[in-house]
Amino acid sequence: MAETSRDPLSLTVFFPCYNEEANVERTTLAALEACRRVATDFEVIIVNDGSKDRTEEVAERLAAEHPEVRAVHNRPNRGYGGALQRGFGEARKEWVFYTDGDGQFDFEEIDKLLKLRSEYDIVSGYRMDRKDPLLRKLNAFCWCTLVNVLFRMRVRDIDCAFKLYPRRLFDEIEMKSEGALIDTEVLARASRLGYTIGQVGVHHYPRIAGEQSGANLRVILRAFKELFHLYGQIRRTGRRSPESAG
């Protein structure tokens, strides 16, 4: 292969998939293309969260076709948090990037996050033009404000599925959320340890295939229940100063 002048970058990319048979191939190919462009050493992990459709079969085929791709399966389905926990736990490279498996984000925008990794410990995207109904956006705004106040953070779009973490963070924290609270949990625990968070705007696209389930009432109630527990736990742990992070 030709020599490039790229900085060395060791990168795990993963994405959760729940009933994404119509999206998983497109998402995997987009991930591979972006990784080949930005990273010198990488792996792509498909986290199939106990899908009831053909996601597992397609994921296994993709893993067999591409040596850099691995498929892991939660059986049975654990939920969004359980899927993200699995991805963070499986990651073997220095940096861990995740997004959703449904194609609502553009992998090519990973550069925006990578650029900020020398300035911040963590880099999170925020959706500049979120493609969701107004009520969902309003709920998200209230949720984001609430968790920022509770955990003393200033994250613009807490649930934006476009984030870059140093892998070492996952040796330091224990995650408990199996549901949608996971994004809040990881950022709250990390900022408690003094990790700094950079933020950058990214685009958001409508889902073109498969079904959305992120706004189900069951998902929301579970998030509140897990929030209640997390708040109690985090209040009991000490705060580490930013200088000693990592």
Task: Return the bridge partners of 12, or none.
Answer: 43, 96
Instruction: Work out the angle between the directed axes of helices 80-90 and 182-192 (0-180°, nearest 10).
Output: 50
Among 11, 12, 14, 20, binds ligand GDP (CB under 6 A): 20
Q: Is 83 in the site for ligand GDP (CB under 6 A)?
A: yes
Q: Is 126 in the site for ligand GDP (CB under 6 A)?
A: no
Per-residue contact flags (x/-) with ligand GDP for residues 23 to 62, judged by CB under 6 A:
--------------------------x-------------
Sign of CA dihedral 129, 132, 138, 144: negative
Return the DSSP state at 6.
P
| Beta-carbon contacts of residue 18 (< 8 Å; ≥ 6 apart) | 48, 49, 50, 51, 55, 77, 80, 83, 101, 213
Query: If you search the block for the tokens 């990784």, which residue do you land on?
Result: 35
Among 40, 145, 196, 212, binds ligand GDP (CB under 6 A): 212
Among 12, 13, 14, 17, binds ligand GDP (CB under 6 A): 17
Among 54, 60, 66, 77, binds ligand GDP (CB under 6 A): 77
Give 17 or 123: the residue with its C-beta nearer to ligand GDP.
17
Q: Is 80 in the site for ligand GDP (CB under 6 A)?
A: yes
The minimum distance between CB 165 and ligand GDP, in angstroms, equals 17
The minimum distance between CB 35 and ligand GDP, in angstroms, equals 18
Q: How far apart are CA 53 and CA 132, in angstroms?
A: 25
Distance spanning both ends of the chain, measured CA to CA: 35
The minimum distance between CB 167 and ligand GDP, in angstroms, equals 21
Q: How far apart are CA 206 and CA 23, in angstroms?
A: 13
Cα separation values, 169 from 76, 97, 191, 195, 213, Å: 27, 13, 11, 9, 28
Q: How far apart are CA 126 and CA 215, in angstroms?
A: 18
Stretch that binds Mg ion, among 33-41, 100-108, 131-139, 183-191 (CB under 5 A): 100-108
Subset of 134-193 contacting ligand GDP (CB under 6 A): none
Give 130 or 156: the residue with its C-beta nearer to Mg ion.
130
Stretch that binds ligand GDP, among 14-22, 62-70, 109-117, 187-195 (CB under 6 A): 14-22
Q: Are the C-beta atoms of 167 and 122 separated by less than 8 Å?
A: no
Q: Is 104 in the site for Mg ion (CB under 5 A)?
A: yes
Q: Is 102 in the site for Mg ion (CB under 5 A)?
A: yes
Q: What residues make contact with Mg ion under the rule CB under 5 A?
A: 100, 102, 104
